[in-house]
Amino acid sequence: MRNLIDILDFSTEEIDGLISVANDIIENPDKYREVCRGKILGTLFFEPSTRTRLSFTSAMMSLGGAVLGFDNAASSSTAKGETVADTVRMVSAYSDIIAMRHPKEGAPIAASRVATVPIINAGDGGHFHPTQTLTDLLTIKRKCGKFDGLTVGVCGDLKYGRTVHSLISAMSRYTGVKFVLISPAELALPDYVKEDFLDGRCEYVENPDLEAAIPTLDILYMTRIQRERFSDPEEYERLKDSYILNAAKLKNAKPTLSILHPLPRVNEIDVDVDDDPRAHYFDQAAFGRYIRMALILFLLDTKGVDDRRISGSENPELECTNPHCLSRTERGIKKLFEGEKCIYCDQRAIRK
């Protein structure tokens, strides 16, 4: 059985295949209307969502399947103290595939260790969001026609922005991709993302000056400052308007620039950018439905195939100190490490 926990669970060839199917669905929707008749998607959203949950729902309904689930942990037995593992064991019995979003990093890995159906990570804390990346890659392929050789500016909350972490890990596999990391120092990209996906693999520069960076970019990927991840509300207030893109700031941008944003936006893109032909963020969100249709078809077809990701071993000398990691709060979870890294959140563990 295959899962999608991390975008690197899929090879670049498999991603190309998903993009081809998504493009075919866009061209020939009638061909796909009944292909999941009798199948059920479980959507377990322990955190708010508009695009991801509704595009998954729309995707399964557009394939002829049905959807069950919850959009709020408070309306599930989580509110009574049930673990993620027990919740997922149960929903595995009621559905054929599960998409889950959880505020704790590593929750989808814990789920995949007990599930009997494929698990899709629909966002885990400030860690990864691989189905947003599939959406981003479909958008880039349709708007830029290629992945190789692009200069990609990622701007805003690079610390907690899970969409950025997954996008960087995916794009760093292509040839000649350069990243410009545009953030305040307090919201810089975490070390594990730099070490795993950039250092020694991909050219990148850190440049906090958005306007100076814009003329060099093929893609500008704006992100929201993630208020819900801040432990200090005053720090959020200080940083929330660090970057506001508007039409005036685009005057020296390339005519071929693609402006992307995973959405929701707060203040970081002024509405005066929306009519710019280079603003693709609403198309990007719409494409999410088609790539998620392709993903559901792919994962339902790979039942019976061994997942490559289940790994890690216990090490009583190590401790994950990431306060946002599920392994620190979930009862009965095996604390697993690969080398010195926690397998749930990818952060370096400390020796006790």
**Residue choice 11, 50, 77, 311 for contact with ligand CP (CB under 6 A):** 50
User: Can residue 49 be called a binding residue for ligand CP (CB under 6 A)?
Assistant: yes
Contacts of 152 (CB under 8 A, 6+ apart): 167, 171, 177, 178, 179, 180, 217, 218, 219, 221
Residue closer to ligand CP (CB basis): 25 or 122: 122
- Segment interacting with ligand CP, rule: CB under 6 A, options 47-55, 166-174, 251-259, 338-346: 47-55
- Segment interacting with ligand CP, rule: CB under 6 A, options 45-53, 140-148, 242-250, 327-335: 45-53
**Residue choice 225, 263, 269, 333 for contact with ligand CP (CB under 6 A):** 263
User: Can residue 138 be called a binding residue for ligand CP (CB under 6 A)?
Assistant: no
**Residue choice 118, 161, 262, 312 for contact with ligand CP (CB under 6 A):** 262
Closest CA to 226 of 123, 320, 131: 123
- Segment interacting with ligand CP, rule: CB under 6 A, options 48-56, 86-94, 170-178, 211-219: 48-56
Give CA–CA dist 348/337, Å, rounded: 9
User: Can residue 51 be called a binding residue for ligand CP (CB under 6 A)?
Assistant: yes
Contacts of 110 (CB under 8 A, 6+ apart): 84, 85, 88, 326, 327, 330, 333, 344
Residue closer to ligand CP (CB basis): 292 or 341: 292
- Segment interacting with ligand CP, rule: CB under 6 A, options 10-18, 107-115, 257-265, 290-298: 257-265
| Tokens encoding 62 | 């557009």
Whether the Cβ atoms of residue 350 and residue 315 lie closer than 8 Å to each other:
no
Q: SS3 letters for 66-111? A: EEEEECCHHHCHHHHCCCHHHHHHHHHHHCCEEEEEECCECHHHHH
User: Can residue 130 be called a binding residue for ligand CP (CB under 6 A)?
Assistant: no
Determine the 3-state secondary structure of 341 from DSSP. strand
Amino acid type, 89: R
Residue closer to ligand CP (CB basis): 52 or 172: 52
**Residue choice 57, 87, 112, 132 for contact with ligand CP (CB under 6 A):** 132
**In degrees rounded to 5, what are phi and psi of residue 296?**
-60, -45
Give CA–CA dist 52/272, Å, rounded: 25
Q: Mark residues 209-248: x for contact with ligand CP by CB under 6 A, - for none.
A: ----------------------------------------
User: Can residue 72 be called a binding residue for ligand CP (CB under 6 A)?
Assistant: no
Whether the Cβ atoms of residue 131 and residue 108 lie closer than 8 Å to each other:
no
- Segment interacting with ligand CP, rule: CB under 6 A, options 12-20, 89-97, 261-269, 332-340: 261-269
8-state DSSP, 128 = B
Closest CA to 165 of 200, 208, 201, 194: 194
User: Can residue 52 be called a binding residue for ligand CP (CB under 6 A)?
Assistant: yes
**Residue choice 264, 272, 313, 323 for contact with ligand CP (CB under 6 A):** 264
User: Can residue 98 be called a binding residue for ligand CP (CB under 6 A)?
Assistant: no
Interaction site with ligand CP (CB under 6 A): 49-52, 123, 132, 262-264
